[in-house]
Amino acid sequence: MKANITKIISDIQKANYFSGSILVTENENVLVETSFGHANRSEKLKNDTSTRFGIASGSKLLTAIAICQLVENGKLSFDTKLSDCLKVDFPHFDKNITVHDLLTHTSGISDYFDEELMDDFEELWSEFPMYQLRRLSGFLPLFQNEKMKLKVGERFHYNNAGYILLGLIIEEASGFTFTDYIQTFIFNKNNMKDSGYFEFDALPQNTAIGYIDLPSGKWKTNIYSLPVKGGSDGGAFITVNDMTKLWNALMNYSILNEKHTKLLLNPHVNVEEEVHYYGYGVWIKKNQTSVEKYHVMGYDPGVCFHSSYYPEASISIVVCSNKSDGAYDIVKVLEKELISNHLDS
């Protein structure tokens, strides 16, 4: 079976020029571990499983874990109102928005990058230079004075601004900067030694540069396409090994206690029909009787990331790419060849 999967993945890579790393584990056993493409095209430095990749919005899981840790430690509650935990003026925001609403994308606030209205992330930086965004407070002018888009709790509306607010809440409740909190209480605590929030103009060794392939056949890096440093809505860097450690820590209740892990993984809001839900920072796909998978994903210019955990099979999949697409094609094949066959056997 492994040989067959390796050939299928290789065929997909040749078809879409996938660039990145793949790691699939079942409990402690490695099922698939491979890499393609270059972390640095100019220097011909190849990707490998120790390469650090940007994971874009996949980072929202980290923010949600941090909030749950603070709730577990009595610093917050999910019912705490935004107006009670941030000393920032939002003149048009509903005073009843809670931490839970922000976690589940049901707050109703306007997003600074509304995926229902916009499709070019680079448009944002014509008025707000990306190189100035090194702290979460720098994002506030992008949405602070906007009116509500929806009523609180009206429906799911994927919202980056809401997760910026959660990061600011983490800073206020913990006394740490957001990135220092994640480094101390998630990355360091779980031996995720290669992960972090790195600045584009000071990337550490073995970090993949994000590439945007142009219709002309040429390419450019994403250094002018994203904030110079990631934050609570996206932008962490992680290795496939470290992401696997994060899933293991969640499922073994070593990053949160059992109660708060189950709250994080609870399908709080329906996103699409009766199968797709959102928990706290994590997407959930259900069948009629159980959860098929928990998954996170991230797309930015020059970044494509998918990672899933399949509880019935005890399998985790991590696919990181330093291109704008390609990861999901790999995940679909892995699900078909590994997950479906495992559950049918």
Give the closest residue to 195 by CA, choosing from 52, 21, 322. Answer: 52
Q: Residue 122's pLDDT is what?
A: 62
- In angstroms, the CA 62 to CA 26 distance is 22
Q: Residue 338's pLDDT is what?
A: 85
CB-based burial label for 305 (10 Å; 0-12, 13-18, 19+): buried
- In angstroms, the CA 231 to CA 183 distance is 12
Q: Residue 273's pLDDT is what?
A: 74
- In angstroms, the CA 277 to CA 282 distance is 9
Beta carbons of 225 and 303 less than 8 angstroms apart: no
Beta carbons of 66 and 171 less than 8 angstroms apart: no
- Phi first, then psi, for residue 139 (nearest 5°) are -85, -20
User: Which CATH number is associated with domain 2-344?
Assistant: 3.40.710.10
pTM of the prediction?
Answer: 0.94
Beta carbons of 327 and 314 less than 8 angstroms apart: no
What are the distances in angstroms from CA 4 to CA 8, 10, 295, 337? 6, 10, 25, 9
Give 10-residue mean pLDDT values along the chain (345 residues): 77 91 94 96 97 98 98 98 94 97 97 66 61 81 93 95 97 97 98 96 96 95 90 96 98 98 97 89 92 96 97 96 95 88 56
Write a three-state SS string for the chain. Answer: CHHHHHHHHHHHHHHHCCCEEEEEEECCEEEEEEEECEEECCCCEECCCCCEEECHHHHHHHHHHHHHHHHHCCCCCCCCEHHHHCCCCCCCCCCCCEHHHHHCCCCCCCCCCCCCCCCCHHHHHHCCCHHHCCCHHHHHHHCCCCCCCCCCCCCCCCCHHHHHHHHHHHHHHHCCCHHHHHHHHHHCCCCCCCCECCEHHHCCCCECCCEEECCCCCEEECCCCCCCECECCECCEECHHHHHHHHHHHHCCCCCCHHHHHHHCCCCEEEECCCEEECCCCEEEECCCCEEEEEEEEEECCEEEEEEEECCCCEEEEEEECCCCCHHHHHHHHHHHHHHHHHHC
Q: Which two tokens stand for residue 177?
A: 């900067």
Beta carbons of 40 and 258 less than 8 angstroms apart: no
